[in-house]
Structure 1
């Protein structure tokens, strides 16, 4: 197996760095937005039965928890105070049954919340993936891969947490708080007002520390992202690192990043170490205050508050304060979920720059005539990359595109494949304007082999069958024999069932490109596009493919882009481009005889490939 080129390694590093490093400029939280919440809730509609059962469980759970406390208070104030032993046993049995029911309800509350959250995220992921698959190339040219993956993974997980935990846990906590408040109000209005005055203090303490923790955790995540990104770069780029003896310098830089991450981690621990004792002290202080005031009320001669009711009030006060801390935690998670949902829906709401026309018709089977009629095209307004392009390719002809980098070669084939639309002019296939046909019907009749020999996870057979998953093994074998690569593929460790590895890493560059050729040819296209298709193949392999390609290209309209002029000498027509314009056209012999731009290119190429004499 051949080693990957350094350029491929560097490309992998850049791509992985984009994935790992989430944009630090993006907001980590945002205020509660009920429009976003309402939109998330719409994804629960297909699962209305499960959602409604979950809401019932939420209501029951919110009532049951204070009910347990109420039952203890009633037992103390009743059978215990009156020394009614049978009554105590009866109350204990009732308490046990009530406690058992709370566990039963808790099971279904958690189970349904987790299932519903998973169903919502599943539908969102499928919708987002389908949306991305239909976006034009212009979207991917201006949007970083890391940002898209972050939407699909990080932001999606934030929404999952928002549905599974924040929403329903908050509803339970809020319901528990209201029921406990009603019970305390029933016991004693004065003590309830005292507790109500304490609540803002606890709330503000929670809010301050959670805001502080949110910022510290954000810094911690960012520092961890830098550590993981550097680690990933070091692992993937170890060959380059060792080749340039960068081990010591890389270790020094990594040490600084680890120290920085450790510093943020320590700050988080320090904040937690201060917050928890302070919270416990506040609870104890409030308990002392309630004890003093409550005891004073009970000891008054005309008091209507009994000792049992005071004990019940203490229990209910605990039931009242505990949800406040829970709601504080959930509030911070809710803000994170809001930020994730906002970014997620912003991507979902991004419309494609162009789509098939409403009245677009399927393109019937074509012969392969392709015509450019005064085509102008630009990636950015006011900066045209193609200027008034005119040519016609008859069925079975091969059109070669030649020119320096940036001259417009790739732009032409992108327009042929309708990855982009022209600014003006018409592109016709068999006389039909491509604007009026569906993209799918066109793409099913086009085969493409690009300079980047991208392979998907799976086997060699899976990748060859990519355009035609239903193709038989015999059809795949026939295509491989046409290309002259059957013996090479069958000689792999598992033949066509050999896994290609991540992005084809288990195959040599030449083998990867042969898979791409076979993939395109198995689709049996009427129009074949070869964009620098032999740039990553060694000279010996290229020579071996030339004869096979002649047979395969016969009868198809082919567009060939190549820096190696040896691959286009047999083309029917060669279009020489310069700054978006066709400056010469003709076949190889005509252009050589003209002694123009193409002849000079060919002369430089011939000198470059001529080897010096031995010795």
Structure 2
């Protein structure tokens, strides 16, 4: 087997995808606080903690890697011994035995190489799967405020390219580096055994190589980080552009956005080229140094041969080993840059995993008692009370001020007011998507901080203006609120909402495939699916946040009777610009700049002639037009 081929196969690497900048809640603050650490043992040790499911293979992998690092110099040494021994001595019989031994060693080396690569791939996959699973679980548990502050592209970047850079770092960079480093050490030991004087010459050259590496290390670190940060901006912009494609095309922004994207790409290319230039200087310089050192060895070795201090065969043997000693240096230099990318990815991934949510359920939080199914005499609705509630997404800038009201079990509460008055903020507090900045929210006399979010959400049904459907069938999307529901129960829920015929009119009925974000269905059809999904959950608390705004007047008329069925016995909160939806509400709260300015039933508020009457008059005039 060719030694050159062995080295090429061992050092061939899959270039890691560009990493991205750290995920932040406040990007500028985080970039200023976090300093780039090229190599950190703590991160490496933590990464291998995700390999526990295959820890037996990790042990084998380490053993195989160390064995291979010894085998590679042994193959080269065996070649030199065959040349200086049987070939130089013209010993045909010994040559045959030597070749047989060399063949066995070469085959065992290739066999170990096979299993080293295989186990490295399995260990890398174990780590990647574990990381992606934990990232997903941690992101799912983050409160809503997290998703308001963090760009989608950066979350995706942590799960995709950052984790992939860690896969490359584990299954390729780490074990190739160990192999090449072990080869260098073993070659050094054999060289010391063969000719200690020439070995000292080689050792004396080591500080020069160390100095070259140190000089370029900081440049590679800073340039690698700059390239990572610029790539994050590219992916974040791309994700945002795809999500906002309707706005882009609607306002003919294609060329403008393309120009902005090209500028980001040019900046990213500039950083990548700077990184490539530095790497292109370092790696050839290491190779040049190797050739320079070989020239010095030729001079010293030739002098020792002239003075009979060593034979030509010994000199040839030493040069085989010296080549084996210097050849890993270029590979190790290339691996160092890949290691920087992997460490940067690890830093960002673990920052996301370790990021503490703004708030979590209290350790002693208890499930909210659920009276459903315990008898018809028990009221199905929940009692919801706000006491002196003040709230702000930024605590320093409240959007709700001193809110007080009570929704008795089975009552319907209407929330009206101009955009930005605080309606959706109240809905978010009822659902415990947020916690009050001050004051208390009670559900069935339990303060929301003392009950688990999971148990509360199990007793709620929410239909929002921005309806969201997952890829799958209509049936699967409806059943998402209660996975154990039968097909007949789903159909019954749709029948009670008087929209079963609309679903059955679809190409494949309830089995019609729904594309990403509900593509293939009209806005109204998507909203009806969300209504049916809410009813199927049999909730105690129903939240309708502009839920009928996407439905045409004829369909809404059909839904009015069904809504009575959906809301009967349940405590409901309705946010609506169409005031006809809340005419029969038990209590209407009129909000203005985060404060309740009026409250009462529809007729009372109209008769009052205040803010609600103005809104209702505008609604009637618009409906008449």
Are residue 555 (structure 1) and residue 562 (structure 2) matched?
Answer: no
* Partner residue, 2:432: 418
Aligned partner of 2:388 in structure 1 is: 375
TM norm structure 1: 0.87
The verdict on how the C-alpha distance between 1:33 and 1:475 changes in structure 2, with shifts beyond 3 A counting, is same
CA deviation profile, 1:117-148 (whole Å, cap 9, x unmatched): 11012112112211122222222222222222
Cα offset, 1:209, TM superposition: 6.6
In the TM superposition, residue 406 of structure 1 has moved relative to its aligned partner by 2.4
Contact kept in structure 1, 2:53 and 2:126, CA below 8 Å: no
Question: Cα offset for 1:71?
Answer: 0.9
Written as runs of structure 1 = structure 2, the 5 A alignment for 1:117-266 is 117-202=124-209, 204-205=211-212
Match of 1:486 in 2: 500
* Counterpart in the other structure of 1:341: 346
Paired position in structure 1 for 2:359: 354
- Please list, as runs of the form range in 1=range in 2, the aligned pairs for 1:21-40 lying within 5 A after superposition: 30-40=37-47
Any idea what SS the aligned residue of 2:468 has?
coil
Instruction: Please state how far the C-alpha of 1:483 moved relative to its aligned partner.
Output: 1.9
Answering whether residue 328 of structure 2 is matched by residue 323 of structure 1, we say yes
Within the candidate set 96, 99, 112, 2:106 is matched to 99
The match for 2:402 is 388
Aligned length: 591
Provide structure 2 residue ranges, at least 5 long, that are not aligned to the other structure. 1-19, 372-379
Paired position in structure 1 for 2:534: 520
User: In the alignment, does 2:604 pair up with 1:590?
Assistant: yes
Partner Cα separation in structure 1 for residue 438 and residue 250 of structure 2: 50
Report the secondary structure of 2:461's partner residue.
strand
CA contact under 8 A between 2:469 and 2:517: conserved in structure 1?
Answer: yes
* RMSD (Å) for aligned C-alpha atoms: 3.1
- For the pair 1:475 / 2:504, whether they are aligned, the reply is no
Are the aligned partners of 1:20 and 1:229 in contact in 2 as well (CA < 8 Å)? no
Q: More displaced, 147-156 or 98-107?
A: 147-156
C-alpha distance in structure 2 between counterparts of 1:469 and 1:296, whole Å: 84
Evaluate the alpha carbon distance shift between residue 476 and residue 291 of structure 1 in structure 2; reply closer, same or farther with a 3 A threshold: same
Within the candidate set 357, 368, 376, 1:363 is matched to 368
Q: How does 1:593-612 map to 2 (within 5 A)?
A: 593-611=607-625
1:498 aligns with 2:508: no
What is residue 547 of structure 2 aligned with on the other side? 533
* CA spacing shift, 1:339–1:47, aligned 2, 3 Å: same
- Alpha-carbon separation, structure 2, partners of 1:22 and 1:418: 25
After superposition, what is the alpha-carbon deviation per residue over 1:415-436, rounded to whole angstroms, capped at 9, x for unaligned? 2111122234332222233322
Say which SS state the counterpart of residue 81 (structure 1) adopts. Answer: helix
Structure 1 residue 308 and structure 2 residue 286: aligned? Answer: no
TM-score normalised according to structure 2 size:
0.86
Give the conservation status (yes or no) of the 8 Å contact 1:388–1:581.
yes
- Distance 1:585-1:230 versus aligned 2 partners, 3 A rule: closer
Q: 1:215: Cα distance to partner?
A: 6.6
Q: 1:389 aligns to what SS in structure 2?
A: strand
Query: In the aligned structure 2, how far is the partner of 1:506 from the partner of 1:214?
Result: 48
Aligned partner of 2:5 in structure 1 is none
Which residue in 1 is equivalent to 2:374? none
Aligned 8 A contact 1:369 1:431 in 2: no
Counterpart in 2 of 1:294? Answer: 301
Of 49-58 and 389-398, the range deviating more from structure 2: 389-398
Q: Which residue of 1 aligns with 2:457?
A: 443
